Amino acid sequence: MRVLLFLLVKEFQQIFRNPAIIRIIFIMPAVQLLVLPLAADYEVKNVYITVVDNDHSSYSHALVNKLVASDYFVLTGYADSYAQAMLDIEQDRSDLIIEIPGQFERTLVREDKATVSIAANAVNGAKGGIGASYAASLIQDFNTDIRTDWLQLPRYNPYPVIAITGSNWYNLHMRYDLFMVPGILVILLTMVGSFLASINIVYEKEVGTIEQINVSPIRKYQFILGKLIPFWIIGFVVLTIGLVISRVAYGIIPEGSFGLIYLFAAVYLLAFLGIGLLLSTYADTQQQAMFISFFLMMIFILMGGLYTSIDSMPEWAQVIAHLNPVTYFIEVMRMVVMKGSTFADIRSQFFIISGMAVFFNVWAVLNYRKRN
């Protein structure tokens, strides 16, 4: 116990003397939370369109006005021909071409139907696809507008219509920040656990001080606890800073209890510190540790449901996602922050993470050798 105390004192002295770690603790949460949720937004805005208006009629103008008046589309300009419009696409000035055929108004009035073609630049698939469907629905809307114009108070509606009204539970206004922020909080803790801890231990290997520790009577578990506890505490500091930032910057106040978030974070940090520790037993240089944890982070983050829904992944990918600790914490964080879930709701995730924490730490301790 006394030995552990001396180890902890030494560890904290080193941490507080290292400006890089202090900066990471305070700046990393701020940057990630302030920048990422705003940038990583799926809502497609600013779709640039080039219009080929072969008709120049009042209806064609009305249609273009309707598109441009929405928040989604920005008019790059008019083109005289489809080929000319393609130039805008090729030079990346436009995402979408709307071609209105000649005689558009006339055919619409006389024959009750007309065609408008939409060509999308699918290099940026999401933007092309979503842009085209926004445009289609606006044109549909335009269609309904003229129809009601023409019908002039029918005695009955010839087309029965079921109108659908939805309400988005737990995220009423479909705010992306409400969805992203809890996930980013998880990523922050993940970084502290795997990155900082593994680099710290490998650093001692690199400069050779670990040799001095290994010839001393310090026990394996004392050394490991001496490394885990400081980063565990740093994790809580980072989480607290993160929660304060999400409160101040986004007004996000967890629906559920803070206690539950901290409880889950405690176990989650242990799991990731175990992974960090394990990494450090395999890596000999900080560079190696950094590359391996960078590689793991990529997989953990991309397969953790931060950006993409796990339910829509192929089955094999879902299996991987469920081996990923990040998945569970993101799930739990969103449940607690958005829905106000209680311990009963997150019990299974809690036990899975506890199991992972035990698994990785036991592996790490077994693999840490004082003697080669």
What's the min distance (Å) between Cβ of 199 and another protein? 14
Residue from 80, 90, 141, 211 touching another protein (CB under 8 A): that is 211
What's the min distance (Å) between Cβ of 204 and another protein? 9
What residues have CB less than 8 Å from 351, skipping those under 6 apart?
none
**Interaction with another protein in 212-251: which residues (CB under 8 A)?**
212-218
Q: Given the structure tokens 């606890």, which residue do they identify?
A: 225
Nearest to 73 by CA among 23, 5, 130: 130
Count of residues in contact with another protein, rule CB under 8 A: 25
Q: Given the structure tokens 């552990």, which residue do they identify?
A: 4
Binding mask 259-298 for another protein (x = CB under 8 A): ----------------------------------------
Residue-wise DSSP of 250-266: H----SS-HHHHHHHHH
Q: Is 158 in the site for another protein (CB under 8 A)?
A: no
Closer to another protein by Cβ: residue 203 or 359: 203
Contact call for residues 70 and 103 (beta carbons, < 8 A): no
Q: Is 9 in the site for another protein (CB under 8 A)?
A: yes
What's the min distance (Å) between Cβ of 2 and another protein? 7
Residue-wise DSSP of 57-98: SHHHHHHHHHHHHSSSEEEEEEESSHHHHHHHHHTTS-SEEE
Binding range to another protein, per CB under 8 A, among 55-63, 100-108, 202-210, 333-341: 202-210
Q: Is 23 in the site for another protein (CB under 8 A)?
A: no
3-state DSSP helix/strand/coil percent for the chain, to nearest 5? 70, 5, 25
Closer to another protein by Cβ: residue 141 or 211: 211
Residues that bind another protein (CB under 8 A): 2-3, 5-7, 9-10, 13-14, 17-18, 207-209, 211-218, 370-372
